[in-house]
Amino acid sequence: MGYVIPLDEASTEIVIKKSRFIAYAKSIVSREAGMFWLAEVKKQYPDARHHCWAYMIGDPTCALNAGMGDDGEPSGTAGKPILNVLRHKQVGDVMIIVVRYFGGIKLGAGGLTRAYSQAAQEVMSILVTEQQVAMVKVWLSCDFSVEQQVRYWIECLGGLVLEVDYTQQVVMKVSVPLKEQLTLISQLQARQCDFKIL
């Protein structure tokens, strides 16, 4: 089974009692990538008071792949509500960063929690997502006479040709959706192609 992942980056801004909350969301595939992006956002907004964040890597049903940070806000008032939004939205491989410019009016713990949650909700509502599909890689070799048929089937199954090498035969490294693996194998066997699942 696949899961939903971000297709692009999104950003939005809300103002609550003169405090500006600028929220960003985008796809990340590792904690290191997320921390690198966080450093970039901090450089973009060096004068902001807080840069709070949360991420969910991998399948959103697996809580082990999650992290958050309050960046100086009272514990549990920023990272946790952002992470709660991510859990509720069921999106994987995603990180939200909320940049806060303090407006001079204290919001209190409840007000902060609501503000960070609202900022995260807003950015997730405009984030474009797509279904992430589990893929399998296959090495195959076939006669030149069936190359076009094999390419046609790979395309029909939603797969991609990753590499091609022409020797005595056509040797390809391809990627197809996991759910189409058996269909591909039957098509390859029908055309007397050798193959190996990677």
Shared-domain flag, residues 94 and 141: no
In sequence order, what are the residues at sequence separation of 6 or more whose Cβ sits closer than 8 angstroms to the Cβ of residue 10? Answer: 24, 25, 26, 123, 124, 126, 127, 128
Say if residue 2's pLDDT is above 70.
no
22-35: pLDDT as tens digits: 999 999 988 999 99
Query: Is 146:193 a contact under the CB 8 Å cutoff?
Result: yes
What is the domain-level CATH number for residue 185? 3.30.70.240
Claim to verify: residue 30 and residue 87 sit in the same structural domain: yes
- Among the candidates 113, 131, 149, a domain finishes at 131
Same domain for 43 and 118, yes or no, is yes
Instruction: Give the H/E segment covering residue 83.
Output: helix 79-89
Which of 83, 100, 131 is where one domain is finished? 131
Q: pTM for this one?
A: 0.71
pLDDT digits (tens, 9 = 90+) for 73-111: 999 999 999 999 999 998 989 999 999 999 999 999 999
Range of the domain at 187: 134-197
174 and 111 in one domain?
A: no
H/E run at residue 181: helix 181-190
Retrieve residue 112's tokens: 């902060």
- 114 and 143 assigned to the same domain: no
Task: Give the amino acid at 107.
Answer: L
Domains contained in the chain, number: 2
Instruction: Please determine, for residue 1, whether its predicted confidence score (pLDDT) is greater than 60.
Output: no
Task: Give the single-character DSSP code of 96.
Answer: E
